[in-house]
Structure 1
């Protein structure tokens, strides 16, 4: 029998590791470069982790449906820990970059599969609260990461940034191994190797093009992605089954998750600098102004289950988007004369809206498919959030750069950050204020577009039975990759038709 408490504890520890490693390295730059050199290569220490994680997320989601959640989570976490050990003993910057790539390959399993397991072992009415716990851990770990990285670097212990993952990860793996039990039907499978290759090449090239402003690379990557989607219609067991795109609930959840990723990144990147450079806040105070976002998010996630059970997933998501629009307007109205408390209030409202929207997308997507497809749709939700963050980062950076350079007082974004305390401070602060104002206007535009995207969802849609009782395929069809769109993509077939008792948690 599956014991939920220890399993959730293991999932939370796993989530904390993946979240913290996305941010913990940033504050350790001086110490790492001092030991390993090659400062010009350091951005890849962060970027390669995010790239490999994004590429592997949908792949793990599909494999979790084929081989089970538990083995794929153990494989992913094991790869992550191997990468952590390699990073902890890295002897050069290229070696550290390879280690971080290995960490990202493992981390690609952690977030989607932990969310999928939570959907498996808890009924629909309780998934919002479990998502709130996981969201709290994710947000808290991401915020704690830079502080812990800076503290360890201060004492010359930057290698422990990675080595500390080992005992924590082993504890998480032990809990999942001992207390999670699932029964998976064993049968032959044909892995979609060509689809995996096309998806990997397309995602990597597009994300590098966006992150590095190599605009010629974007169409090259898009060609690979188009070839991937065409191939998936022919593959025997596709990584991303074509029926996903014809299901309105899933399409709305994916688009909503992309909005979550984009909206989340704008305050994270620009609010701390604004608070320190224009509001006169210390680094710690600026961090707390952003941290209120992580307070609002889990509070909203805990409330979301009551709302979507009563009003439906679309209306709950729209309520979240309404709050995101309100927070975006509040951010647009932020001025250098605003008190820091106002910036914190903006972040709180923003986080509350993101909490409602993100839970509606995750649980809504999970609720309309059976066990055999929950992994692939959860992986899709997580992937679109990562893609939204990548695209948002590139777009907002372009908006900020264009705004700063249009004033004619500075020649680069880096010059603004360097000049805030120098003789050109007034011009630099004016440029920063204008740039961040335009970024928040762009965030408002994304939020408004998000409302249109979520309207794709059906207003009311009955979910299938919960995983703990009688989850089934959305149309009672074969889970190996056949297309249920004709039978149930629009409204979700009744639970129990053609259901199999295999492949579900035994508890």
Structure 2
């Protein structure tokens, strides 16, 4: 089995312990900025799309952010290897802040989606570069502990984000879920400018950037995701387009063909954005596959569970953030404890295998969700799900960085982030498609089960988009029915809630399948012991240089 070059033991950035902690704090702040935005928007999103009349574009507010950050992530990773983490991280934060300000000023869904895309262009730098800095600061054996802290920051943002997003949405305005990024981002820029040194390759040129690969990847992923999103969008009659229609199957096929060309181009590129030779290492390639699949499973819960609480339970945006606390507790605890155990034992395969089993169990439990599921049971299910995801937030970054030499940490980490982001994008598109399809098919059955006559059901045809929005569903149904049928509103609302809950539960079958495949990928991993301690001394031959 061919493998990559032997990785280094000591980090390429030689700093005092105090300086390392200062750099760590600065990069943690940058990571918190990006991860907070994902969660704060998720809780406020039901109200945003209701106010902007864009329920049919619900998933695209998140998907376009993930898409642009995914496309730019590998570019930032490659450039940071050549020119240093610091300038690229500052550029990314600056773009992110501009996108945040403009998103808060949005007056319609088209503007919001466009400015969220700009936010994603900046966020593409924050995740991979922040994680790569850990590889610069610490030896492989030390990285688990600190990658676990990064995973915990991600989890903490999941707690703070829903609460803050809900509070601002309910008591101020949803516009402030974007404006709140500005003071955090300005503080991050100031700290990074002051304490983060530049570590770059001894040689590097903009001519090394794989522009052809970037173009082909973009041209392939965009139609693929649009096709998946179109499948879940009903027309004026409430019918969903067929899989073989041009706007669905045609776009998916186009995207797949372009991505084949992308792989061929990468095999010939001088400095590919996704180096194919790294995939000859079984551990590296299996890690990328596992991260992709876990992201598919995770994003369904993070985005749609708050919507379930608001639409079915009728709770406020703030309360929906509180209700998913067990999921977030599992994420934080699993990431931190997992990172510590990896650093202490120097091994990772057993931990990642166990966490995948928990993820499968959590997804299986969530398929039992309905409108009457009690809070204690649902909290327990979410805790199991979170504990299944948590160790992957820290563990796989350690594994991948242990597979490569110091001069490829940036591109390896950005590739991992790329697969996580693509998995999130694909998962959201597929989950949105599955949700819309299930709701459209299930609603007539649930309405009939409540004893509502077909004459009343006919008045709701073509109005299913508004039935999945948050707010006064009963009032919307009353407006659609003639006065003589207003006594049926209560039963129809019950049917809508049952159909909505069943649709969310159906999405977790997707999470279950992805989790099972992730376990298969983890079983394939080779156990490569993490080397080096606090005073490790082996280094790669002078390919990386520090610049003050």
TM-score by length of 1: 0.83
1:82 CA displacement: 3.1
Deviates more, 1:398-407 or 1:213-222: 398-407
1:70 matched to 2:86? The reply is: yes
| Equivalence for 1:58 | 74
1:502 CA displacement: 4.0
Match 2:228 to one of 196, 210, 214 = 210
| Equivalence for 1:382 | 417
Match 1:363 to one of 398, 401, 405 = 398
| Equivalence for 2:131 | 115
Residues 1:467 and 1:170: Cα distance change in structure 2 (over 3 Å): farther
Match 1:392 to one of 427, 430, 433 = 427
| Equivalence for 2:146 | 130
1:179 matched to 2:195? The reply is: yes
The aligned runs of 1:15-94 (5 Å cut-off) are 15-25=31-41, 27=44, 45-87=61-103
1:426 matched to 2:494? The reply is: yes
Hey, what's the Cα distance between the residues in 2 that align with 1:95 and 1:202?
24
Structure 1: unaligned runs, 5 residues or longer: 471-494
| Equivalence for 1:316 | 351
Contact kept in structure 1, 2:36 and 2:160, CA below 8 Å: yes
Hey, what's the Cα distance between the residues in 2 that align with 1:93 and 1:320?
38
Residues 1:17 and 1:422: Cα distance change in structure 2 (over 3 Å): farther
Deviates more, 1:415-424 or 1:242-251: 415-424
| Equivalence for 1:500 | 541
1:293 matched to 2:327? The reply is: yes
Q: Deviation string for 1:393-418 (max 9, x for gaps)?
A: 23333333443344433664653564
Determine helix, strand or coil for the equivalent of 1:187. Answer: coil
Deviates more, 1:43-52 or 1:168-177: 43-52
1:467 CA displacement: 10
1:424 CA displacement: 0.9
Hey, what's the Cα distance between the residues in 1 that align with 2:202 and 2:41?
41
Q: CA RMSD in A?
A: 3.3
Hey, what's the Cα distance between the residues in 1 that align with 2:118 and 2:279?
30
Residues 1:390 and 1:500: Cα distance change in structure 2 (over 3 Å): same
Decide which structure has the larger Cα Rg and report it. 2
The aligned runs of 1:483-494 (5 Å cut-off) are none
Hey, what's the Cα distance between the residues in 2 that align with 1:205 and 1:454?
30
1:199 matched to 2:217? The reply is: yes
Residues 1:95 and 1:413: Cα distance change in structure 2 (over 3 Å): closer
Hey, what's the Cα distance between the residues in 2 that align with 1:308 and 1:256?
18
Q: Deviation string for 1:109-143 (max 9, x for gaps)?
A: 00111111122212333323322322232233244
Contact kept in structure 2, 1:120 and 1:505, CA below 8 Å: no
Contact kept in structure 1, 2:312 and 2:371, CA below 8 Å: yes
Determine helix, strand or coil for the equivalent of 2:297. Answer: helix
Contact kept in structure 2, 1:295 and 1:348, CA below 8 Å: yes
Residues 1:81 and 1:406: Cα distance change in structure 2 (over 3 Å): closer
Hey, what's the Cα distance between the residues in 2 that align with 1:255 and 1:150?
34
Aligned length: 478
1:271 CA displacement: 3.1
1:303 CA displacement: 1.9
1:23 CA displacement: 4.2
1:274 CA displacement: 4.3
| Equivalence for 2:237 | none
Q: Deviation string for 1:370-397 (max 9, x for gaps)?
A: 2211111111111111111222223333
Hey, what's the Cα distance between the residues in 1 that align with 2:177 and 2:371?
36
| Equivalence for 1:474 | none
1:257 CA displacement: 0.8
Hey, what's the Cα distance between the residues in 2 that align with 1:250 and 1:137?
25
Determine helix, strand or coil for the equivalent of 1:500. Answer: coil
Residues 1:81 and 1:101: Cα distance change in structure 2 (over 3 Å): same
| Equivalence for 2:528 | 461
Hey, what's the Cα distance between the residues in 1 that align with 2:411 and 2:508?
33
Q: Deviation string for 1:126-163 (max 9, x for gaps)?
A: 32332232223223324433543454455666555444
Hey, what's the Cα distance between the residues in 1 that align with 2:174 and 2:505?
36
Determine helix, strand or coil for the equivalent of 1:184. Answer: strand
1:264 CA displacement: 1.0
Contact kept in structure 1, 2:69 and 2:120, CA below 8 Å: yes
Q: Which has the higher contact order (CA 8 A, sep 6+)?
A: 2
TM-score by length of 2: 0.77
The aligned runs of 1:396-475 (5 Å cut-off) are 396-407=431-442, 408-409=444-445, 412=464, 415=467, 418=473, 422-458=490-526, 460-463=527-530, 469=536
Deviates more, 1:340-349 or 1:172-181: 172-181
Residues 1:404 and 1:84: Cα distance change in structure 2 (over 3 Å): closer
Hey, what's the Cα distance between the residues in 1 that align with 2:531 and 2:76?
23
Hey, what's the Cα distance between the residues in 1 that align with 2:387 and 2:69?
26
Hey, what's the Cα distance between the residues in 2 that align with 1:55 and 1:180?
25
Hey, what's the Cα distance between the residues in 2 that align with 1:503 and 1:307?
30
Contact kept in structure 2, 1:324 and 1:350, CA below 8 Å: yes
1:10 matched to 2:26? The reply is: yes
